[in-house]
A and B are shown apart, each in its own frame.
Chain A
Amino acid sequence: MVGGKTAGERIFNLTTVAIMIILMVVTLYPFWFSLISSLNSGADLARGPVFLMPREFTFGSWTAVLSDPGIMKALWITASRTLIVTAVSIFYTAMFAYAFSRSYLRGKKFYVVIGFISMYFSGGIIPSFMLMNWLGLYDHYLVYILPALFGGFWNVIIFNANYKALPEALFESAKMDGASEFRIFLQIVIPLSKPVLAALGVFTAVGVWNDYGTTLYFTQSNDLQTLQYMILRLIQSNRAVENMMSMQGTNLAVSSLLNGTQGQGPVTAQTIELAAMVIASIPMIIMYPFAQKFFVKGVLVGSVKG
């Protein structure tokens, strides 16, 4: 910047920094709070909340959550669907986008039209429910996989903008040499699109890992619960007890998880809830900073310009 620092500038800078620090504290503190509470004895927590550090440290709630068969089952369902859906949907979407981005694709208008219709029109929840039932996907593991295998037209637009930035001469010379479209896609386009593949892969994985709607709408058996859904039911059942509200039925997996916590021991329903929340957010917390650098450059700039 040009010019020296006046008193006004200095006040402006200090205020800005102060606002940013407050915002960071407000953002981070809830996570810190839940982490220390989940590592604190539940009986002690009932006397009053902990603020900065655990008062009576215990791993009890963490071990209780991590050794619960219901949680483990939910973790398996969530992790397996996240891996499968991310891998396949990124591949299908990238492949669709490649064919779509070729200037010599015949009948491109058709694909534009179905793409935009799929973005703006939806049958909504009830027609989807009827479809899943009819296809036999209701209350089946595949309901987590099949409907999610295409990443949506929005991702196609982002891929398309990124492919357009690749040098055209590369494709032309590969075609002259007789390379097939599949080969160009697999051996030229994919290696050159790593940033956008990584960024959209992270988005997809985050979306699938965090989704509880599919479980809520399209499944009913305890064997098919996802981690997020189980935590939701845990929160709801704890709140219902606190506020003496009526609950819509009880969840077997949740009640068996809470079974060992009757009374006022070191592990209570509240610490179980917090421990489950902290554990379920660990993968996201680990993953997002790695992919962060791709977001601004790889994805958003491309899509804004495109």
Chain B
Amino acid sequence: MSSRKQKGFRLGYDFWTQFELKLMLVPAVLLIFVFDFSPLFGLLIAFKNFEPIMGIKGIFTSEWNHFQHFILVFQNFQFWPMVRNTLGINLLSALIGIPVTMLFALLLNEIKHHKFKSLVQTVTYLPHFLSWVIFGGLFITLLNSAGIVNVLLMELHLIDKPIQFLADPKYFWGVAIGTGLLKDIGWGAILYLAAMAGVDQSLYEAAAIDGAGRIKRMWYITIPGILPTLMVLIIFAVSGMLNNNFTQIFVLQNSLNLPTSQVIDTYVYQTGLLQFQFASATAIGLLKTVFALLLLVGANALSRKLTKTGLF
């Protein structure tokens, strides 16, 4: 704000304008307090001897229990497999998904035929807009023991008997990572393409005159140009390491693939809402949130140090 404005006419600082603005903020602020902030009090039950029967008052009146829920969480034999599944699926998804999506965007950017390029984009966006129930359901059908994938593989004599993609725990990570990649590759490419559009075009012309081919230009001009975007996406991936896509996993999960499909989020749902172990489910959820925040801050700090870009 300029000094002239501050000393003289201060448009908008009158009482009525401020009152109007506050009125416009009220609905959203109320909703944030009721539906986002008030549940935070519920986190107290992670540290207390709380039983669902006590009701809402019990959150405040039940006794403290000296981190008993957290100790039990770490002793639970289901805890480490569940952490392994969560981290495994997320880490591999990021390690495969980020480079593959970037490569897709790089190749798409090289297509000069405008109509073909936008056709590819329109088609690859489609799965992003469908629910996991439908997209997951389609793949459950395709990967069935009598489904089309198995029929094709048998016809080609690549396998003798059908692969139980969803009933055999061996394949669950692969199915989760593969379907996740296919659902979001087109959508994920948008951010890269937007970043690529911002790269100075004269750099390409200069490089071409100097004799750099397509691949060299991609490597030395495009990739450095989209590095900040890439870093932001990596930070998001790292901070989301503990956050599985519940909607995806829950659709693909069944009682047979549970050993490799039980992740933190599905476990919290199962023990919390189906078995009414409110306190311990809340404790696990809280642990997850805290570690996810630490990961976010850590990844951001590291990125700032290495590439001088970060979220905050």
Contact = CB atoms under 8 A, between A and B. Distances in A.
A4 B301 CA distance: 46
Interface stretch (A54-62, A63-71, A100-108, A190-198): A100-108
Nearest to B44: A127
A121 B40 contact: yes
Given A96-B25, A105-B21, A176-B11, 15 more contacts: A16-B107, A23-B104, A24-B124, A30-B142, A49-B148, A126-B285, A127-B39, A130-B42, A130-B56, A131-B34, A131-B35, A239-B140, A277-B134, A285-B130, A292-B122
A92 B28 contact: yes
A13 to B, nearest CB: 8
B123 A27 contact: yes
24 contacts: A8-B214, A23-B104, A27-B186, A37-B141, A49-B147, A105-B21, A114-B37, A123-B38, A123-B39, A125-B272, A126-B268, A126-B281, A126-B282, A131-B35, A131-B42, A240-B254, A242-B144, A243-B254, A246-B255, A273-B141, A285-B130, A288-B126, A292-B121, A292-B125
A288 B197 CA distance: 23
A154 interface: no
A22 B259 CA distance: 33
Contact of B141 (A102, A213, A228, A274): A274
Given A30-B139, A118-B37, A209-B131, A300 B194 contact: yes
Contacts of A289: 122
3 closest pairs, A vs B, by CB? A127-B42, A123-B39, A104-B12
Contacts of A34: 138, 141
Interface in A204-235: 206, 209-213, 216-217, 228-229, 231-232, 235
A107 to B, nearest CB: 9
A122 interface: yes
B120 A24 contact: yes
Nearest to A149: B31
Nearest to A203: B129
Contacts of A49: 146-148, 151
Contacts of A128: 35, 39, 42
Nearest to B280: A126
Contacts, number: 276
Contact of B278 (A17, A130, A212): A130
B123 A28 contact: yes
Interface in B180-220: 182, 185-186, 190-191, 193-195, 204-205, 208-209, 213-215
Contacts of B146: 49
A227 to B, nearest CB: 9
Contact of B20 (A2, A127, A182): A182
B111 A231 contact: no
A274 B167 CA distance: 20
A181 B20 contact: yes
The B contact surface, by secondary structure, is helix
A20 B268 contact: no
B205 A2 contact: yes
B20 A20 contact: no
A150 B28 contact: yes
Interface of B: 1, 10-13, 17-18, 20-22, 24-25, 27-29, 31-43, 45, 55-56, 59, 104, 107-108, 110-112, 116, 119-127, 129-134, 137-142, 144-148, 151, 166-167, 182, 185-186, 190-191, 193-195, 204-205, 208-209, 213-215, 229, 246-247, 250-251, 254-256, 268-269, 272-274, 278, 281-282, 285-286, 288-289, 293, 296
Contacts of B125: 288, 292
Contact of B126 (A3, A285, A300): A285
Q: Which of A26, A99, A103 has the most CB of B within 10 A?
A: A99
Contacts of B119: 24
B27 A150 contact: yes
Contact of B289 (A124, A211, A229): A124
A304 interface: yes
B190 A296 contact: yes
Contact of A228 (B38, B131, B205): B131
B216 to A, nearest CB: 11
A106 B104 contact: no
Interface in A264-305: 270, 273-274, 277, 280-281, 284-285, 287-289, 292, 295-296, 300-301, 304
Interface in A51-88: 51
A212 B256 CA distance: 23
Contacts of B18: 105-106
B20 A8 contact: no
Contact of B11 (A23, A100, A175): A175
Contact of A103 (B1, B56, B107, B204): B1
Interface string A109-129: 001001101101111111111
A141 interface: no
Given A124-B39, A213-B246, A231 B256 contact: no
A133 B58 CA distance: 14
B281 A1 contact: no
B32 A27 contact: no
Nearest to A1: B208
B25 A111 contact: yes
Contacts of B13: 104, 106
Q: Which of B18, B112, B281 has the most CB of A within 10 A?
A: B18
B4 to A, nearest CB: 14
B120 A20 contact: yes
Interface in A1-48: 1-3, 8-9, 12-13, 16-17, 19-20, 23-24, 26-28, 30-31, 33-34, 37, 48
